Amino acid sequence: MPSSPKPADSPDLLTSRENRWLKQFRIALRGGLPTEDGSVGVEGPRLVEEALRSTCRIEAVLFSESGERHRERLAPLIGRPDTGFPVLRTTDRLFEGIADTEHPQGVAALVQPRKFSLDELFATPAGACAPLLVVLAGVQDPGNVGTILRTAAAFGATAAVTSATGQSGTASPYSPKSLRASAGAALHLPIVAGMSLPILLTQLKLNGIHSLASCVHEEAAASFSPWQVDWCQPIALLVGNEGAGLPEDIVHSADARIHIPMATHVESLNAAAAAAVLFYEAFRQRQKSYPRPCGSPFQG
C-alpha cells in the first residue's frame, strides 16, 4: 500500500544551511535586512502571531524542533484554508544560526509589510476625529523607533512616517529590534518609510494637516504645552533625533512647536518617553467627552 502524502504544513526537516528558505530567514533576522522580494523577519511566538493577525502578506513560517511547542498556539492562524504559505521546520542548531535573538524561541516568519500611499495616510479612519500622524525624523535607535510606534498606536495615532534629516537617518521600523520594541505595532499601523522630510512637510500643508515640532524645554520659545493643542485637528507630530532633536530649519518650517514642561533641573526626556507623554494627551482629548482647549494654535 503506498504511503499517505505528508500534510502540506508538515514538510521534511530542513537540514542544510544552504537551503534557500533558511538563507532568506538568515538575511531577514540575523542580517536585519529585507530579502530580495521585500520580506522582513519576525521572531518569537508573539510577533509571529501579530504578523499572522495583520493584513501583511506572509511568505513563510518556520519552526525549530523545540519551537514546535508553539504550533498549537498558532494553529488557528496557520491552519486556515486561505493561508497559502509554507510552514517549514528545521533543527534547533540551524535555527540558532539564523535567529537575531540570543535565546531564540524557535518560531519565525517572513512578512511583506503593506505599502501605503500618502492619501491613505492622510485619510481619517473610521472612529477617529481626524488623522494623527507620528513623523520620526532622524530617530536612530531602532529600540526608540519601535517604542514610539508602539506608544503612538496605543494612544490612537492613525499612521506613521519615517524620514532622514540632514543630520541623521531614521532606523527602519521593520528591523528585528524595531519590530520587537513595537510589539508588532509596526505591522498594523500604516507606515511610509524613508520619505523626504521637506516633501512630506509640503504634502502635509497641501492636505490641511498641521505639523507640530516637538522641542526640548530650553528651545520652547513661542511653543505650546501639550494641553494647549487641539489634538482633534489633523496633526502630524514630528519627533527628532535622540540627542540633537529636530533640525532648526524643520522646526521653523513646522506650523507650531510643542514642549513638555518639566522641572528645571531635568535636561530633557528620552525621545520615546516624550512621545508617550504627547500621545497620551492626544488620546485623552480625542475621547468624545473631553472638552476641546481654547487658544489652540490650530483652531480657526
3 within some domain: no
> To 10 degrees, the CA torsion angle through 189, 194, 197, 201?
-40
Percentage of residues in the chain having pLDDT higher than 70:
88
The answer to whether position 88 is within a domain reads: yes
The reply to whether 107 falls in a domain is yes
pLDDT digits (tens, 9 = 90+) for 233-274: 999 999 988 877 888 889 989 999 998 888 776 666 788 998
Q: Strands of 87-90's sheet, edge to edge?
A: 40-43, 107-112, 57-64, 87-90
Looking at the fold, whether 76 and 151 belong to one and the same domain comes out as no
Specify whether the CB–CB gap between 177 and 144 falls below 8 A: no
Domain that holds residue 164: 118-286
Q: What global pTM score does this model have?
A: 0.87
Of 88, 112, 136, the position where a domain reaches its end is 112
Alpha carbon distance 137, 165 (integer Å): 6
Residues 122 and 155 placed together within one structural domain of the fold: yes
The three grid cell numbers given for residue 182, joined into one nine-digit string: 513595537
Report the interhelical angle of 271-286 vs 142-154 (nearest 10°): 10
What is the CATH number for 55?
3.30.1330.30
Query: pLDDT, tens digit, for every residue of 160-184?
Result: 999 988 778 899 999 999 999 999 9
Within 10 Å of residue 219's Cβ, how many Cβ atoms?
17
